[in-house]
Structure 1
Amino acid sequence: MKRLGDRKRHYWLAQRMAQTTGTDLTGAYDAGDLSQQQWAEIVEACRGCDWTESCERWLARHETAKEAPAGCTNCGAYMEIRQAVSEGG
């Protein structure tokens, strides 16, 4: 079984990726488009990702992006959150 990465490190990586892709996790949570469970699942998925080092390099090179790179385990989650927010829930 793969050892999960540090929770705090991956919390911030998930936050940085969300910010870079224009995914407002806090806003989505406040609007009811993201549950506490879903937010926790995003962090846990990040903790289990094999792409962490590449993620950090990617984030260092991008201030903004239309979407997360394909290697990101939360690429689809961020897209769904942005869609839900844009549709008003």
Structure 2
Amino acid sequence: MPPLGKIMTHLRLVLGMGRATGTDIVAAHEEGRLSQEDWAGMVQTCRACEDAGGCRAWLDQNESVEDAPKSCANRARLAALRRKQKEDE
């Protein structure tokens, strides 16, 4: 297993993926839809991903999309948070 990536790098990637998909991760946490443990889990999942460089490139090319790329290990979690966010609007 390759070493995990740097925490801050992957925190930024998770937040960037949230912005690109219209998922407000910070608001989800503040409003109780995303626990601290779940948020940390998303970052850990991202840290273990072998395609972080691909995510950076994808984010550079995609500012506003419906879904994270299929290769994103947090794709389903982001989609669930976004659906809940839309329901609460």
Shorter-chain TM-score bucket reads: over 0.9
Runs of at least 4 residues off by over 4 Å: none
The residue number in structure 1 matching 2:68 is 68
* TM-score relative to the length of structure 2: 0.93
Percent of aligned pairs sharing the same letter: 35
The residue number in structure 2 matching 1:3 is 3
> What does 1:10-89 align with in structure 2 at a 5 Å threshold?
10-88=10-88
* TM-score relative to the length of structure 1: 0.93
| Structure 1: distance between partners of 2:26 and 2:53 | 25
Structure 2 unaligned residues grouped into runs of 5+: none
CA contact (8 A) 2:23 2:85 kept: no
Structure 1 unaligned residues grouped into runs of 5+: none
Deviations 1:10-51 (A, max 9, x none): 110111011110010111111111100010001000000011
| Structure 2: distance between partners of 1:73 and 1:79 | 12
| Structure 2: distance between partners of 1:86 and 1:30 | 16
| Structure 1: distance between partners of 2:61 and 2:36 | 30
Displacement, 1:59?
0.6
